[in-house]
Amino acid sequence: MNWTTFKKMIMIEQTLFGLPWAFVGAILPFYDVEFSSHFQWSNWSLWVLILLSFITARIAGMAFNRITDRHIDKANPRTKDRVLPSGEASLLQVSLIGWGSLIAFIYFCSQINPVCAAFAPLMAFLLWAYAYTKRFTALCHFVMGLISACAPFFSWVAITGEFALPPLFLGLSVLCSIAANDVIYSLQDMEYDRVRGLHSIPVAIGGRSSVLLARCLHGASFSMLAMAGFFLPFNPIFFSGVVFVGGVLVYCHRFVSLSEAKMLDKSFMMSNSLSAVVLMLFSIGGLFCQELF
């Protein structure tokens, strides 16, 4: 498998823009001055392990998704050009990448701390099982959201070694946002899924109700993000980032058009990517100013 095919398989642009959420979860513990003063900044390997854990989890999840859905993708005009239906990669190649990445993910988590090591097998199961959920439940969007929510939550745990409320709310924010985006994404395949007997929220409640639900989920995402900040030491720069994310979501929903589901999906993918990157930058900026003043 060449590099171009590999990038296509894992949707590398989504991987790169999902990573900032993991880094936000790793940055926010340092808003606690006492924790920051005791943290060993020389332990650079911890940051590398967080990065490698995220990347291998993403690769494994995308590989398993491609394997499980290969027959469905082949029959769907929108997805027939994916790497397995198109013949760009073999089932053996994708399987080796998927299982190899999953084993690497579990290993990297085991090197971080006991808490991450204990939860790694559960996360690995979710990465493998997600693609099957659309076959029996319309709540599959929330399973994807849950998987994505683990990135900022366990990044916090990787840094601190313990659970806390801020990463819980941050994770819930990501869960709601990704679930909302996936509902919108599924609008493109609503008729195809209905014919094939696949489950999704658009199939279950229709297009207009799905858009309304997505708006509610994005509203909940913004609220959870604000709550994460509420349980941290007050930082006006971080809250400015939260306000920016809310503004992006409002702007995107202002121009929702059910008749242009593909453009709608691209709009919210861009909004999610932009929100993640900007919030990470605001989080770093808030920490930098805190250290200065």
Write the secondary structure of 61-118 as one string of H (helix), E (strand) and C (coil).
HHHHHHHHCHHHHHHCCCCCCCCCCCCCCCHHHHHHHHHHHHHHHHHHHHCCCHHHHH
CB 136, CB 199: distance < 8 Å:
yes
CB 65, CB 82: distance < 8 Å:
no
* pLDDT tens, residue by residue, 232-255: 888 899 999 999 999 888 877 776
CB 271, CB 254: distance < 8 Å:
no
* pLDDT tens, residue by residue, 187-221: 888 999 999 999 999 999 998 899 899 989 999 99
Distance CA 84, CA 61 (A): 15
The answer to which of 100-104, 207-211, 263-267 has the lowest mean pLDDT is: 263-267
CB 146, CB 175: distance < 8 Å:
yes
pLDDT at 43 over 80: no
- Compute the mean pLDDT over every residue in the chain, rounded to the nearest whole number: 88
* pLDDT tens, residue by residue, 119-176: 999 999 999 999 899 999 999 999 999 999 999 999 999 999 999 999 999 999 999 9
Dihedral sign, Cα of residue 106, residue 109, residue 113, residue 119: negative
Chain CA centroid to CA 221, Å = 13
User: What local confidence, expressed as pLDDT, does residue 269 receive?
Assistant: 67
Distances in Å between the Cα of 93 and the Cα atoms of 82, 97, 100 are 14, 6, 11
Distance CA 70, CA 156 (A): 35
Structural domain of residue 232, as residue ranges? 3-292
When pLDDT is cut at 50, 70 and 90, the band that residue 287 belongs to is confident
CATH code at position 146: 1.10.357.140
The number of domains in the chain is: 1
CB within 8 A of 289, min separation 6: which ones? 237
Distances in Å between the Cα of 292 and the Cα atoms of 41, 43, 196, 223, 258 are 17, 22, 58, 29, 48
pLDDT at 66 over 90: yes
